């Protein structure tokens, strides 16, 4: 276990905790005090850390995703959907859909793009909430940008799918969804700001006099 700890950069008490909670499969016992761990344990620890530390999932939710990952009766699509939903915080999971402010605009957008998505997707609610916030500010900018933002989202999602497809097995695919979705949000936001700065320099070349 000391070697597994060093190889995975995870403390021994943390490894014992994951073993107790069923997040990590036991090693092969070789003596009363020793067990043999292998690459599968290092890989699983990396996945568990990604779900807990990067994805911000609870231990219970992590166990749920892992068991769904290992259930051979769950299709790949349903497994990836569960994983994505786990890293998509919904403000109002329990509320009825459809009557929420902003949901009409989101429905219209989805129809316009021909996107095939579940009526209960948490991301629909989040998008509807953003529309409602824009309207509450009396702000109409969103109509100017929404279709281009959807173009951008589609390009990002296309890259995401290629990254998932490039992974060889279910556990690596789950890791790609968790890490790519959560870190991707932050990185795409940072890249958007850098691109904004670049375009601002392009559109508003400094002339010495204020515009």
Site for a copy of itself in 61-120 (CB under 8 A): 72-77, 80-81, 84, 88, 110, 113, 115-118
Indicate which single residue of 27, 135, 156, 171 sits in contact with a copy of itself (rule: CB under 8 A): 156
Task: Please identify, using beta-carbon distances, which residue of 6 and 191 lies nearer to a copy of itself.
Answer: 191
How many residues bind a copy of itself (CB under 8 A)? The answer is 88
Contact flags string 2-41 toward a copy of itself, x per CB under 8 A? ----------------------------------------
**Is 11 in a helix, a strand, or coil?**
coil
DSSP conformation class of 9: T
Phi-psi label, residue 89: left if phi above 0, alpha if psi -120 to 50, beta otherwise? beta
| CB contact burial 170-199 (16+ within 10 A = b; e otherwise) | bbebbbbbbbbbbebeeeeeeeeeeeeeee
Task: Please identify, using beta-carbon distances, which residue of 58 and 118 lies nearer to a copy of itself.
Answer: 118
Give the binding range for a copy of itself (CB under 8 A) out of 16-24, 27-35, 58-66, 202-210: 202-210
CA-CA distance, 183 to 157, in Å (whole number)?
14
CB of residue 11 vs a copy of itself: minimum separation in angstroms? 15
Indicate which single residue of 6, 12, 92, 161 sits in contact with a copy of itself (rule: CB under 8 A): 161
Query: What's the token pair of residue 30?
Result: 């070789």
Sign of torsion over alpha carbons 20, 26, 55, 65:
negative
Task: Please identify, using beta-carbon distances, which residue of 12 and 188 lies nearer to a copy of itself.
Answer: 188
CB of residue 147 vs a copy of itself: minimum separation in angstroms? 8
| DSSP-assigned beta bridge partners for residue 35 | 29
CB of residue 33 vs a copy of itself: minimum separation in angstroms? 29
Tell me the Cα Rg of the chain.
22
Task: Based on the shown chain and the rule CB under 8 A, indicate whether residue 150 belongs to the binding site for a copy of itself.
Answer: yes
């Amino acid at each position: 276990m000391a070697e597994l700890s060093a190889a995975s950069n995870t403390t021994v008490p943390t490894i014992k905790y994951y073993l107790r909670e069923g997040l990590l499969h036991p090693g092969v016992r070789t003596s009363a005090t020793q067990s043999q761990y292998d690459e599968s344990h290092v890989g699983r620890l990396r996945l568990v850390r990604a779900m807990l530390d990067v994805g911000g999932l609870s231990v219970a939710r992590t166990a749920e995703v892992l068991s769904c990952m290992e259930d051979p009766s769950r299709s790949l699509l349903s497994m990836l959907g569960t994983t994505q939903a786990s890293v998509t915080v919904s403000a109002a999971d329990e509320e009825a859909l459809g009557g929420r402010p902003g949901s009409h605009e989101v429905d219209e957008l989805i129809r316009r793009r021909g996107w095939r998505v579940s009526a209960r997707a948490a991301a629909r609610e989040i998008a509807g909430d953003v529309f409602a916030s824009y309207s509450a500010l009396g702000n109409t900018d969103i109509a100017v940008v929404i279709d281009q933002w959807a173009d951008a989202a589609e390009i990002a999602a296309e890259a995401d799918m290629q990254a998932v497809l490039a992974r060889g097995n279910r556990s690596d695919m789950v890791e790609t969804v968790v890490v790519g979705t959560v870190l991707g949000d932050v990185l795409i936001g940072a890249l958007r700001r850098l691109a904004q700065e670049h375009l601002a320099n392009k559109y508003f070349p400094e002339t010495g006099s204020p515009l």
